[in-house]
Amino acid sequence: MVGGEKKADLVVRNAATTYSSSKVDVAVKDGVVIKVGAVKEKGGLEYDANGRLVLPGFINIHTHLDKAALLSKMRPDEFGLSLEQNRELLKSFKKNYRTDEIKARARGVLVQMAQNGCTAVRTQVDVDTTCGLKAVEALIELKAEVSKWMTLELCVFPQQGLVGDEAYGLCDKALSLGCDLMGGLPLVEKNWDDRRRHVDAVFELAKKHGVKVDAQLDESNDPREFILPYFAEKTIEAGYEGKVTATHCISLAAVDDKIAQETIRLMKHAGISVNVTPSANLLTLHVVENGLYVRPHNSITRVIELIDAGIPVSLGTDNIRDVFYPLGNCSIIRELHVLASAVRMTQSDDPTRLLHMASEEGAKSLGLNYGIKAGCAADFIILDAHNPRDVINGVPYVPAVFKGGKLISETEFVEKVKP
């Protein structure tokens, strides 16, 4: 390299980026981007992007690897149930969990995520009295095994509740074993008092172990199920500003505008970020006390208003081919298309905003330094597109994926159309 620098391990040539209108070269050394611009010297590996878009790797900020691919175990009459019915169905599967079986399902889905451009994943991991710590132990093993090609974060997920000594103790133990974050699901508790106790326990455990929080909140369209304001207040009370993520926040879209705006301001003050999982949210059904559905389909939180308020919003797939969501091909690009349509992100700059949500915004939540800039991690993807809008409108595949400057996935799309 010019100025006596060492030869680059990798040079990607003729790349389009969201940072410049000109095509650039991207040089990588020891897993880090060292130059973006014109690179004269050859790298150890040369890759021609042919004018296609180079983007920081996708981050799947919310999924459930321990439950992934349970679809193969389901009977025909077990499809299309409500959220509460699915939770009961899941228990029957979890009673028969084996470490090797969990790892095999999760690994297969992680490979598919990598092929679709994901270079880092945050997964929720069930910890409860049905499966105990079996899923945690399996995914801790898997995290080490895939570390060369996937960054994996594990978030303790109290699927069956957190109020009670046994559930609390299991989550405490899971964090001691090495899980990275404390999660929450207050909606599963029996009443509002217990839901608040659930939130309190989440922060208590997070502070004890010095980890961040990522909790699933308000997963229905029912404005009565709206614990987000209490969660934000608790964030401030715990001194956890900037260390907390709220996933779903769907009831924020169901309350009236005045309450929503007050809550968004409170979230901003608390430094809360938000995760959305568009496809799974749209399919989730909920039952209220009288047995009627609140709505036949679920909604998505107020994404545009959150972004406009300066609240970071990241993207995940949520469940992949399991009891809660029997679909899913691990495509972040597909999630972007669903989100853009569902919340009407159709402005000229929205494709760029969407891609930012799917990559750099999620990377910040994981503490990763992502970007096509010198000094950033060399975790990036080559897309079959020349600009952000082409990504959303084109065939949703990722030709090349690099992790730490190493090529970990190549996918070829052969177009053969006969008239």
The model's pTM is 0.93
Phi, psi angles (nearest 5°) of residue 226: -140, 85
Confidence of residue 220 (pLDDT cuts 50, 70, 90): confident
Task: Report percent pLDDT > 90 for the chain.
Answer: 82
- CA geometry: angle 263, 269, 274, nearest 5 deg: 65
Which carries the bigger pLDDT value, residue 27 or residue 296? 27
**Predicted pLDDT of residue 254:** 87
Using DSSP bridges, classify how beta strands 45-48 and 10-15 pair: parallel, antiparallel or unpaired.
parallel
Cα 228 to Cα 272: distance, rounded to the nearest angstrom = 10
| Alpha carbon distance 154, 227 (integer Å) | 24
Which pLDDT belongs to residue 318? 95
Report the candidate in 173, 174, 242 with the shortest Cα–Cα distance to residue 213: 242
What number is the average pLDDT over the span 97-108? 95
| Mean pLDDT of the residues in the chain | 92
Which range (88-97, 265-274, 363-372, 406-415) has the least confidence? 406-415
Quick one: pLDDT at residue 221? 75
- Sorted by where each begins, the domain ranges of the chain are 2-56+371-410, 58-365
pLDDT at residue 298 in the model: 59
Torsion of CA 2, 4, 8, 13, to 10 degrees: 0
pLDDT digits (tens, 9 = 90+) for 241-293: 999 999 999 999 989 999 999 999 999 999 999 999 999 888 766 655 565 55
Return the pLDDT at 419.
67
Which are the contacts of 406, defined by CB distance < 8 A and separation ≥ 6? 148, 149
What type of residue is 252? L
Give the H/E segment covering residue 124.
strand 118-126
Domains 2-56+371-410 and 58-365 share a fold: no
Per the model's pLDDT, the better-predicted residue between 10 and 83 turns out to be 10
| b (16+ CB within 10 A) / e for 368-404 | bebbbeeebbbbbbbbbbbebbbbbeeebebbbbbbb
Does CATH number 3.30.559.10 belong to domain 58-365?
no
CATH architecture designation of domain 2-56+371-410:
Roll (2.30)
What is the pLDDT at residue 140? 98
The answer to whether residue 1 scores a pLDDT higher than 80 is no
